[in-house]
Amino acid sequence: MMRHYPRFPADVPLVAVIVGDRDVFSLSGRCTVVSEGGLAAVLPGRIPVGDVVSLEMHFPNSEATVHVRAAVRNRQPPKYGLEFLALREEHRKVITRYCDLHTRPTRALLLDALRRCLG
């Protein structure tokens, strides 16, 4: 299956807020894979496929907190696949920059520049 967006390894803290029938609760976890269309996360608890959660994430390349709603598309607790819904443009830019920083060519260029400066 061809994906819309390439995926990149990540280690980003996140909080998922789930609104149930009678209560609201939050789960702290980690984003382990990210793309411009969604992410994979490790979260405690059981969230049903199809549920919509609100995510808060702090990417190291930005001071802004990314807030996004996401739908649970697959789950194998504690691992979840989440698809972003209605991602704001400024948050999309933060995620895009984070993904760009994790591409091999970008990493290689940065390493080469550091070697030239230090060497």
Residue 106 CB partners (closer than 8 Å, separation 6+) = 100
- Quick check: is 2 in a domain? no
pLDDT of residue 105: 63
pLDDT of residue 108: 62
| 66, 96 contact by CB (below 8 A) | no
Q: List pLDDT tens digits, range 50-86.
A: 999 999 999 988 898 999 999 999 999 999 999 999 8
The CATH code of the domain that includes 40 is 2.40.10.220
Give the predicted TM-score (pTM) of the model. Answer: 0.81
Question: Residue range 93-98: average pLDDT?
Answer: 90
Number of domains in the chain: 1
Q: List pLDDT tens digits, range 100-113.
A: 877 766 666 666 66
Structural domain range at position 16:
8-118
